[in-house]
Structure formats: structure tokens, C-alpha cells
């Protein structure tokens, strides 16, 4: 499990020196789809008992559904990889705020 998740997450930072996931404290792995309770949406509405494949939290915790982790690794071209998605949120939160873009400088963004 560790190698599978680390391998997928590592794809996001290939070629970049630094420890981008050093604030990540815990990865919770669930055997099935996760039922998110009272999830706040961007528009302020609250979804209750929503099925999710993963979540990244500001407190340094990532939750992942193991079946979805495996599916994302096996089917790279389907556009659904929960590890890449949630760890992108972790990168976005490096500056303490999950505002929608990682805090790479202009020069870093130009390389991508």
C-alpha cells in the first residue's frame, strides 16, 4: 500500500528538488468507498453522506479508498486517479491555504 501510494504521489514532484509532502502527517486507507459526512461545497452548501474516493485535509491528513487507489494506478488513461487528485491538494496547501494553485514560482509554472 505504501509503495503504491508513494509511487503515484511521487509522479507529481518528479524533477523537483525539495520535500513537498513533509507536512503530510497521516494517510488513512479505507477498504471501501468513503462516506463523507457533512461535506461543505465551495458554494456554501453542505452535502451529507456523500460517497467519495478520497479527501485531503489542511491538518495534514489524506483519506483514500483503496479500491480507487488501485483503479487509478491500473487505468492511467481514464483520467481518474484519486492519489494524484488528493496529493495535488496537498501540494496546493504547502503555503497553508488550499486556494487552487500550488505555491510554485512563475519559473516553476513555466516548466510545466
What is the percentage of the chain residues whose pLDDT exceeds 90?
38
Domain ranges of the chain: 2-111
The pLDDT tens digits for 58-101 are: 888 999 999 999 999 998 888 899 999 999 999 888 777 777 76
SS3 letters for the chain? CHHHHHHHHHHHHCCCCCCCCCCCCEEEEECCCEEECCEECCCCCEECCEEECEEEECCCEEEEEHHHHHHHHHCHHHCCCHHHHHHHHHHHHHHCCCCCCCCCCHHHHHHC
Distance separating alpha carbons of residues 10 and 1, to the nearest angstrom: 14
The pLDDT tens digits for 1-11 are: 999 999 999 99
What is this structure's pTM?
Answer: 0.78
Amino acid at each position: 500500500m505504501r509503495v503504491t501510494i508513494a509511487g503515484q504521489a511521487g509522479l507529481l514532484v518528479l524533477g523537483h528538488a525539495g520535500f513537498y509532502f513533509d507536512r503530510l502527517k497521516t494517510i488513512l486507507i479505507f477498504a471501501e468507498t468513503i462516506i463523507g459526512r457533512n461535506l461543505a461545497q465551495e458554494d456554501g452548501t453542505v452535502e451529507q453522506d456523500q460517497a467519495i474516493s478520497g479527501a485531503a485535509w489542511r491538518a495534514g491528513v489524506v483519506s483514500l479508498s483503496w479500491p480507487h487507489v488501485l483503479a487509478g494506478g491500473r487505468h492511467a488513461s481514464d483520467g481518474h486517479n484519486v492519489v494524484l487528485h488528493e496529493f495535488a491538494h496537498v501540494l496546493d496547501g504547502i503555503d497553508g491555504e488550499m486556494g487552487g494553485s500550488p505555491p510554485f514560482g512563475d519559473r516553476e509554472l513555466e516548466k510545466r
